[in-house]
Amino acid sequence: MAAGGFCKLPNGTVVVALNLPGTAADGIGQVRVLVHARNRARALTRLRNLGLRSVYLRGNAAPPTPDEVTAVLHHPDGLVWRTAPAGGVEQVTEPWHPIRALLGRPVAVRR
């Protein structure tokens, strides 16, 4: 289970944002993952198909910001991540990374 949220776009698609625990082996703390999909269920399915099996979205406590929506919409995979700030309020200057950089394997581009 992860904190997160979603926003519905004017064209009917959604952007889902989730805060997930990072990998201890790589020294990555908590990460913020953004997914662009047709609906919330498909967004979570995309993550589960990548091996993140226990990902659930309960509520809308941490919806994506307008900057986050822009970042995921401009990425060809529609699936990006970066480290989440420790307190959740300070600005992050780290760029967004494709999900394959976190998982270490290629991801099919959505069409």
pLDDT at 52: 79
Distance CA 76, CA 39 (A): 18
pTM of the predicted model as reported, rounded to 2 decimal places: 0.80
Distance CA 35, CA 46 (A): 8
pLDDT at 42: 94
Residue type, 51: G
Q: What is the mean pLDDT of residues 72-83?
A: 90
Contact 57, 44 (CB under 8 A): yes
Q: What is the mean pLDDT of residues 101-109?
A: 59
Please state the domain extents for the chain: 3-103
Residue 111: pLDDT band (50, 70, 90) is very low
Residue 2: pLDDT band (50, 70, 90) is low
Buried/exposed 1-31: b ≥16 CB within 10 Å, e otherwise? ebbbbbbeeeeebbbbbbbbeeeeeeeeeeb
Is the pLDDT at 1 greater than 50, yes or no?
no
The tens digit of pLDDT for each residue in 24-65 reads 656 667 888 999 999 999 999 998 888 877 788 888 888 999
